[in-house]
Homo-oligomer: A and B are copies of this chain.
Amino acid sequence: MQANDDVLVAAPARRPGRRRDASKDDVILEATRQLIAERGYEGMTMDAVAERAGTGKATVYRRWPSKVELTVDAVICGRQFILTIDDVPDTGSLRSDLMSIRGAARGSRNDELMHGLHQAARVDPQVAAVFHEQFVIARTALMRALLERALHRGEIAPGRDLDMIATVAPAMIAYQKVVAGGKAGPDYIERMIDHIIVPLATGSVPAAE
């Protein structure tokens, strides 16, 4: 879906004329991601994208036919920042596994991107699909995999609803960020891990303060 290469495919012999600068793609996509994170989807104007990318609007529209398609591509190409179970080394316990990704969940501006993208997801079904895949499915899947790992270690108490538990952390973090309008800092996340997630999964009483 990224940029048009139909003609190149159809005619491998290179056509005359200046070649399209492929590096501009990344610059435009990154500018798009930044602006969505900063101002939300409605606040992200095509003029602003072009200006921040240091390009003309025509250059943007030569590569993407509309704002929606640009948005979709920008988010898809940003998925490199999303953690999967393979990115999280086994540290030996559920708690330390969770603590090890505590920073990553906050460090990237992925949460701001999620926040800004959210309103677009309500308007356009295409965006909604990408949003759901990348910010709902992916995060729940990671949590589910970490719980599975803990299960194999024997950490999980019997009778636990792992699917349900896997949604708790994504829900609480997204809620803090998107709905409550607050910050989900490292201390908040640690508190959540120690008083909510680990007790839920292992049935242990949280350590006294």
Contact = CB atoms under 8 A, between A and B. Distances in A.
A136 B180 contact: yes
**Copies of this chain, how many?**
2
Contacts of A179: 118, 135-136, 171, 174-175, 178-179
A191 interface: yes
A58 interface: no
A14 B79 CA distance: 66
Contact of A208 (B159, B175, B178): B159
Task: Give the interface size bracket for A toward B.
Answer: 35 or more
Contacts of A164: 191-192, 195-196
Interface in A156-200: 157-161, 164-165, 167-168, 170-172, 174-176, 178-181, 191-192, 195-196, 199-200
A132 interface: yes
Contacts of A121: 181
Chain B CB within 10 Å, residue with most, of A118, A121, A176, A179: A179
Given A200-B200, A205-B158, A175 B165 contact: no
Interface of A: 40, 42, 115, 118-119, 121-122, 128, 132, 135-136, 157-161, 164-165, 167-168, 170-172, 174-176, 178-181, 191-192, 195-196, 199-200, 203, 205-206, 208
